[in-house]
A and B are shown apart, each in its own frame.
Chain A
Amino acid sequence: DGGITQSPKYLFRKEGQNVTLSCEQNLNHDAMYWYRQDPGQGLRLIYYSQIVNDFQKGDIAEGYSVSREKKESFPLTVTSAQKNPTAFYLCASSRGLAGTAYEQYFGPGTRLTVT
């Protein structure tokens, strides 16, 4: 079964704690992305990676960090510096960057609640 998995589905943390969201894909895709989704808004890009050991900041990277040590994995850490971390987080992958016209495949998402 090919696809993207995200874990956990729901995550609760106390303010001031860092938390890492998992994203794994077995589609052999080169590009991976992290988005944040808030009610009534479109998706906002946090980070993206075109290749292993390389990643770029998106529109709202402040307070987040990522790594891409393996092609299949692109974990996102939400740090205590992120002022408003409660949101729905979506991971996606594509054969290449969106500019090459490849569609993105999305994981099921992780809903993070910070209190």
Chain B
Amino acid sequence: AQSVAQPEDQVNVAEGNPLTVKCTYSVSGNPYLFWYVQYPNRGLQFLLKYITGDNLVKGSYGFEAEFNKSQTSFHLKKPSALVSDSALYFCAVRDGSNYQLIWGAGTKLIIKP
């Protein structure tokens, strides 16, 4: 079965420290992978995507993600966290059978001053 897992419900990071939000996936075929961010009571905003090519993808607001095919992971990273990065982060992968997105349950990121 095709799926996405975000193993951490919540991640706590001190401001200025590097952050990582984890995502693993299971799909047939080549994965299309996405990261989105959601601020409280708002819609989701696209951060970045991996389709093909370089395993390190750079996106909005200084975020980047590393695609690792052997570990079937697509972890979101940022070298230096800001308090304003506090939000809910979703990983998603294309379903190869019907081309819809399969969504992870989300990870709440809390950046403490």
Contacts and interface: CB of A to CB of B under 8 A. Distances in A.
Interface of A: 4, 6, 40-45, 48, 58, 90, 92, 97-101, 103-109, 111
Q: Sort chain B's interface into a size bin.
A: 20 to 34
B99 A97 contact: yes
B46 A42 contact: no
Interface stretch (B13-21, B66-74, B102-110): B102-110
In the complex, which of the residues B43, B44, B96, B99 has the most CB atoms of chain A within 10 Å of its own CB atom? Answer: B43
Given A101-B49, A101-B51, A106 B44 contact: yes
Nearest to B46: A103
Nearest to B96: A99
B12 interface: no
22 contacts: A40-B105, A40-B106, A41-B105, A42-B90, A42-B104, A43-B44, A43-B101, A43-B103, A45-B101, A48-B100, A58-B100, A90-B43, A92-B44, A97-B100, A98-B32, A98-B94, A98-B100, A99-B96, A101-B32, A107-B43, A109-B41, A109-B43
B34 interface: yes
Interface in B37-79: 41-46, 49, 51
Contacts of A43: 44, 90, 101, 103
A67 to B, nearest CB: 20
Contacts of B99: 97-100
Contacts of A105: 46
Contacts of B96: 99
B109 to A, nearest CB: 15
A4 B102 CA distance: 22
B41 A99 contact: no
